[in-house]
Structure 1
């Protein structure tokens, strides 16, 4: 799975989770509970996207040939 597909999945999930949080705010009287729940879902999805991204490898330095000293 390439990174573009992962980004599409994360954005789609976060969109639907935020819609679910807004719907919960409209249905229940505890509007702050729905807002907090959608924030929790978004933070979990963001953390998943951050963790599952490929880790960057440090750049390797090429070994230099030892210098010969002409005495």
Structure 2
């Protein structure tokens, strides 16, 4: 799957990640479109502690159109 990452201040990078697998009680959705709002821009705009930020993979956004891919 492709994922947009924020490697540094005002930088974006499109990377390939392993496809997620649904565990018990979970679903995997395929994002078809996504909007972006002001709060989504915080990781893009601001300087951050990159070591701790890169430790957490943030996936998803609140403004999306998605289809269920796996249950």
Decide which structure has the larger Cα Rg and report it.
1
Q: How high is the TM-score relative to the length of structure 2?
A: 0.28
From the two aligned structures, give the one with the greater strand fraction: 2
Higher helix share: 1
Q: Which has the higher contact order (CA 8 A, sep 6+)?
A: 2
TM-score, normalised relative to structure 1: 0.28
